[in-house]
A and B are shown apart, each in its own frame.
Chain A
C-alpha cells in the first residue's frame, strides 16, 4: 500500500482493509475451533471493516445461510457468542458465502470466482483476498495449483492484495517441503505466502524477543561465556486422542520439533535484529537455524532419543499406551517423545549444548526455555555451606504459567552462613492482567494488514527440515532403537542419560 493512512495512530489498533477471507476446509475442525472465534473476536474489537466477507470452500454440501448458522452455533458452543456477538453475526450476515466442491475441481474455482466478484460488487471488498488453507496437507498442492490456474492468485489491481495462509505441517520432509514450495511459488510470490505457526502468535513467545532485546542486563550474559547449556521443553499431558491416524504419519519430530521447537530455538538463540520487522527478525532466525549442526547417521544414535509411551497414570487417571490408542497400529514405531542434544556452531553459542525435548503423556503441559549459567569460577564458601546451592538459572516460561523465573543463591537467615538457591518468579499475567489476543486472532489480523513478521519464511522451513531430515532418515533405516516410557513420567531413561553423560540433568518444570 503506497499511501499511508494519516488517521491511523501507532498506539491504536489497526483495522483490516476490506477483504474476503476464503477458507478452504471450511467444514473442518480448525475453521470452527480457531478461525471463526478469531473472526468473532476481531469483529467485537471493531477491527474488521464493513463489507468484510468470508467464503467457505469445502466438500460438504451446504448453503450460505447454513454455513453461517453452523459457524455461529459452533463458535457459541465453543464459549464465544453472547449478546455483544449478535451484532457481529448480523453485520456479517450478507458476507458469508459457501462454495461446495472438490479442491482439484476446476468448477469449484469458477464458482468461487463468481462469488468473489459478487462480493466485490455488493460489499466493496476491492478484489482483496486472503486464502486460508485449513485443509489436510494432502490437498495443499491441489488448491495452490488450482488457484494459480484459475487466475485467482493475483490481485486485479495494483493496490489490491492476494495472500495465502498455510497451516503446518509444511511438507513431511525437506524434499516434500521443497516440492510444496515449488508448487506454491509457481502460483504465488513468496511475499504473498504466510506460513502460520500459532506459537508465534502467542504473547509470551513474542515476549522472548522483548526480554532479550529490550533489556541491557540479559544480553551480556546471553552467550557461551556465561551459559552452560540451554534446555527447551515442549511437553503435553494429553495423548494423541482422536488424531491417532494423523499422528501415525507424523510423530513428535514432525509434529512439534520441526516447527514449534525450532521457532522457539531460533528466537532464543538468534542475534539481535537491526529492526523489529519481517526482514530483520526472519533473517536472524534463519541465521540461527543455519548454525545448528546437522547430524550424520551415527550421530543420530548418540545425540537423539526417540521413545513411545506405554500405559500409565497421568494426573490421577490411568491412560492407555500409544499402541492402544484409536487409529494407531498395535506395532507402531512412531515416536511420541524426542530428546536431542543440538550443537550450534557460531561465535555466540559454540560449545553450548542445546537440549531439546518434547513428548506426549508427560506429567504436565509445559513450554519453556531454560538457560543454565556456568558456576562461579571460585566459590569462597565451604562445601557444607552451599549444599542447597544450584547453578543460576533463567527460565522463560511460555505456557502455561507465562513468565520468567530467575534462580540464584541467597543467604539463609540466621547465625550460620548457609547459601541456598531461591527462585524469583515474574508472572507475565500478574503484571499485565490485560486480555491478550488469542494467537489466531493476532495472526489473522496480521495477515489481513500484510504484516508477515510472525509468519515463517520459506528458508526458515528449509533450515528446520535440514536439521530434522537426517534424523528421520536414520530412523527410517531402522538404525535407532525406540525407547519406551511410562505415561505420566518425564520420559525414558535413555533421555536422562543424554544429559547425564555430560554431567547434567533435565529440569523438572
Chain B
C-alpha cells in the first residue's frame, strides 16, 4: 500500500500563528472555494490524531499520506504543547490534497493544530468545530493511551491506539479494557495480527482438519509482549481452553503451535516466522496423514496498512474484546471489572 500512493499532491495550503478556530475554518473554506478540484469532496470520516511534538505530527501525516484515499477523510493532527506556563493559543496549518488515480480525483484536507496553554485541556472544544457533519470521528493516539476521563473521548466515536507503541507500563491492556467501556477501541497491534489469525484459522478449513479444533489440548505462542498475549488470549477464548493449556514465550518473531488430539489421532498445527525475512512457514502434521507445509511471504506491515484496517471497522470488535480479556488473564493482570461493550447512543 505504501508504495502504491504516488499520485497525491498538495493543491493549496494556508498557515497562521495564534489564530482562532473561526479563522481556521474560514481559511479551509477559502482553500476549497479557490480550487475547483476541491469543490467535490468524498469523505467517510474525520480522523483526529493527537501527538506531542512536531516530529510525531509529521509521522502521523506521513501515515495519512500513504493511506491515500482509501478512507477519504478530513484529518486533524493536534500537537499538544505540554509547556505548563504557555498561554492559550493555536497555531494552525491547513492544506488540501488531491489523489488522482485512473482519471478520478478526490480531495481531502489536513489540519495541523498546535495547541498550547490551558486550551490543551479542552481539546474537544478545539476539535469539534472541524469535524465533518454526520460522519464518524475516529480519535487516533499513535503512541499513548488517553485517560478514561479525557474530554476528547466524548467527541469521538472510536478510539484507535497501538498497545505496542505505548511505553511499557505493565498495565496497558488493563487500561485499554477501561477505555473500551467508554467507546469502541481498535488496537493497531491487534490489526497487525490479522494475517496470523487468518492463516491459523485457514489451517482448520476442510473436513479433515476442522474436527481437531475441538481437541486442542496445548497452545504455545511466542512473540513480543502484547502480541503474544493477544494471540494467546484469542485462542484461549475462541477454543474455550483453560489458562494452563496456553503457554507464552518471549521471542522476537511470532510463532504459534496448536497440539490437538481427536479419536486417538494427534495433529500439530503450526504457523511461524523463522527470521527477519517476511517468510512464514505453516505446517499441518496429522498422524497417518501427509505433512502439509506452506511457505508464504507476509505482506509488509506498513503503518498506513494497519491504520486502514483499523478504519474499516465501524462497530464493536467482539473478538478483540474477548482476546483482550484472555490476554489479561494470561498476563496476570486484573481486569478493572468484566469486559463489556460500550454503551452506544
Contact = CB atoms under 8 A, between A and B. Distances in A.
Contact of A51 (B102, B105, B200, B290): B290
B195 A160 contact: no
A79 interface: no
B238 A7 contact: yes
A53 to B, nearest CB: 11
B119 to A, nearest CB: 34
A193 to B, nearest CB: 20
Contacts of A160: 207
Contacts of A430: 42, 69, 72, 104-106
Contacts of B204: 5, 7
Contacts of A143: none
A46 interface: yes
A502 interface: no
Interface residues of B, number: 51
Interface in A435-460: 449
Contacts of A123: 290, 292
B249 interface: no
Interface centre among A7, A12, A128 (most CB of B within 10 A): A7
Given A46-B198, A427-B104, A124 B213 contact: no
Contact of B200 (A7, A432, A449): A7
Interface in A27-84: 46-47, 49-51, 84
B106 A50 contact: no
Contacts of B42: 426-427, 430-431
B201 A9 contact: yes
Interface stretch (B139-147, B294-302, B330-338): B294-302
Given A49-B203, A50-B282, A427-B104, A91 B198 contact: no
Nearest to A13: B198
A15 B203 CA distance: 8
A interface, by DSSP: helix, strand, loop or mixed?
loop
Interface residues of A, number: 45
Interface in B96-123: 99, 101-102, 104-106
A353 interface: no
A17 B207 CA distance: 8
B208 A429 contact: no
B106 A15 contact: no
Contacts of A5: 201, 204-205, 210, 213
B264 interface: no
A264 to B, nearest CB: 23
Nearest to B207: A159
A92 to B, nearest CB: 10
A426 B72 CA distance: 14
A193 B1 CA distance: 37
Contacts of B282: 50
B211 interface: yes
Given A91-B295, A91-B296, A124-B292, A433 B69 contact: yes
Given A7-B197, A19-B206, A433-B68, 10 more contacts: A1-B207, A7-B201, A12-B194, A18-B205, A50-B203, A123-B290, A124-B284, A126-B208, A430-B69, A430-B106
Those 9 A-B pairs whose CB atoms lie nearest each other, nearest first: A159-B207, A15-B202, A50-B294, A17-B206, A7-B201, A17-B205, A126-B208, A51-B292, A124-B292
